């Protein structure tokens, strides 16, 4: 079974808001209350400083130059790869491929591994709570290969129906794609159990970890998954950088999916030979500064401790959930007992977009819409939700501001509820 993901309830206060320069600014004359961390996190000064220092002191192209600066930049880049390996506890450094983020990582697997392995009639098993990034690439691949997509249903509480999952697995299942933490519901899925069941029928498992790595310890060896993808910008790092973990015995046999410089051994007009993984999958000049920033971001959370972060955020989630459910006219969407810091909800008589606009005028930033999970919204029969998503720098004061904003919105729309 999974290692415990919910941390102890005696979490100390992290008090890290001062580390994030943007949190000192005002919006519409109000203190910024940033509760849109599921979309992207803010960046600590340590990450901003690391990127600036790279460009001021270390900028050069990597892997090619004999001069000192190129070798120094290469060392920084590969140091970042080791940092990602340590974050995920991958067994080998060459199991880490840098990508632009989770989306590109999933596309890499689909169009390298998938296009070379899948054939007509093979099945790809996805879940009803997947982000579009873990749906659309497989649809494109299925159209090209004749593979078939099957979907694991979601219960009313926002959990996966594991009995249905077991029933859907069969000898034709070649890949299971599953989110570690739902971006729209906060549900933490039982990855170890799902991986074990998939491996029993010979299927590989790709885990979308975009919403997990900033909030809990992730150990790919304990999870047992074959692929794990995440984005740096949801981990307090820069945009445009992320990583794919892939088991070495799988990755070493996957063909290139993009061609160009730095992914080859030799090139002639008669043909080319390719570098070993992971360089085979990193064509062209990569986002070197992004890797440096990601390195700094991972160090930042590791120095605080992901166990402490998980505990703090769990306390905040419990408090915020209790306060929201006390408000009349609030419908929570996603009530699984095992959840990360996502509060997805509806307010009677107020469209989520209107609600988001009103909250914005109070300085409170939330997300409103389908959260790139349209099939999930269809399953619940709603166009979208308002979503407040938590990070290590959020506080009880932020939750109080959200509650005040919700009460003002209800008063403006005259929904008939009264508040003290």
List, for residues 275-307, the tens digit of each pLDDT value: 999 999 999 999 999 999 999 999 999 999 999
Q: Within the chain, which residue ranges are assigned CATH 3.90.1150.10?
A: 17-44+305-413
What is the mean predicted confidence (pLDDT) over 311-339? 97
Give yes or no for a contact between 182 and 379, defined as CB atoms under 8 angstroms apart. no
Which of the residue ranges 66-70, 358-362, 365-369, 416-420 would you say has the lowest mean pLDDT? 416-420
Q: Does domain 17-44+305-413 have CATH number 3.90.1150.10?
A: yes
Domain with CATH 3.40.640.10 in the chain: 47-302
Q: Which residues are catalytic?
A: 372
Q: Would you say 170 and 218 are in contact if contact means Cβ atoms under 8 Å apart?
A: no
The residues that bridge with 364 in the sheet, in sequence order, are 33
User: Is residue 416 very low, low, confident or very high in pLDDT (cuts 50, 70, 90)?
Assistant: very low
Helices 45-53 and 288-304: crossing angle, nearest 10°? 150
CATH class, range 47-302: alpha beta
Which pLDDT band holds residue 248 (cuts at 50, 70, 90)? very high
Helices of type H across 337-420: 352-361, 374-380, 396-413
| Distance separating alpha carbons of residues 24 and 248, to the nearest angstrom | 44
Give me the pLDDT at residue 13, please: 60
Tokens of 44: 């600590």
C-alpha closest to that of 180 among 220, 137, 122? 220
């Amino acid at each position: 079974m999974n290692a415990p993901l919910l941390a102890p309830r005696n979490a100390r206060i992290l008090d890290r808001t001062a580390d994030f320069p943007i949190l000192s600014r005002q919006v519409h004359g109000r203190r910024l209350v940033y509760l849109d961390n599921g979309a992207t996190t803010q960046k600590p000064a340590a990450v901003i400083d690391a990127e600036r220092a790279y460009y001021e002191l270390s900028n050069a192209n990597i892997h090619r130059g004999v001069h000192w600066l190129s070798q120094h930049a290469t060392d920084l880049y590969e140091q970042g790869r080791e940092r990602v390996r340590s974050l995920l506890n991958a067994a080998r450094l060459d199991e880490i491929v840098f990508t632009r983020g989770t989306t590109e990582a999933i596309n890499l697997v689909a169009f390298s591994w998938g296009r070379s392995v899948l054939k007509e009639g093979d099945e790809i098993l996805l879940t009803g709570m997947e982000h579009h990034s873990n749906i659309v690439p497989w649809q494109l691949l299925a159209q090209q290969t004749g593979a078939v997509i099957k979907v694991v249903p979601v219960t009313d509480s926002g959990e996966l129906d594991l009995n249905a999952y077991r029933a859907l697995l069969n000898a034709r299942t070649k890949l299971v794609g599953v989110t570690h933490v739902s971006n729209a519901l906060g549900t933490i899925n039982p990855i170890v159990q799902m991986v074990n069941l998939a491996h029993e029928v010979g299927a590989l498992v790709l885990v979308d970890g975009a919403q997990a790595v900033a909030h809990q310890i992730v150990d790919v060896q304990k999870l047992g998954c074959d692929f794990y993808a995440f984005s740096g910008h949801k981990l307090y790092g820069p945009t445009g950088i992320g990583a794919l973990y892939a088991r070495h015995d799988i990755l070493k046999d996957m063909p290139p999916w993009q061609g160009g410089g730095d992914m080859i051994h030799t090139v002639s007009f008669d043909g080319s030979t390719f570098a070993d993984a992971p360089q085979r999958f990193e064509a062209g000049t990569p986002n070197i500064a992004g890797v440096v920033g990601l390195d700094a971001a991972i160090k930042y959370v590791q120095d605080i401790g992901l166990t402490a972060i998980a505990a703090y955020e769990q306390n905040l989630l419990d408090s915020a959930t209790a306060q929201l459910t006390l408000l009349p006219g609030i419908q929570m969407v996603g009530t699984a007992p095992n959840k990360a810091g996502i509060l997805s909800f509806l307010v009677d008589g107020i469209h989520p977009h209107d609600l988001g606009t009103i909250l914005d005028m109070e300085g409170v930033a939330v997300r409103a819409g389908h959260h790139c999970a349209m099939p999930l919204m269809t399953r619940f029969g709603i166009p979208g939700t308002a979503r407040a998503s938590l990070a290590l720098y959020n506080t009880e004061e932020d939750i109080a501001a959200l509650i005040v904003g919700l009460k003002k919105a209800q008063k403006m729309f005259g929904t008939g509820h009264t508040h003290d």
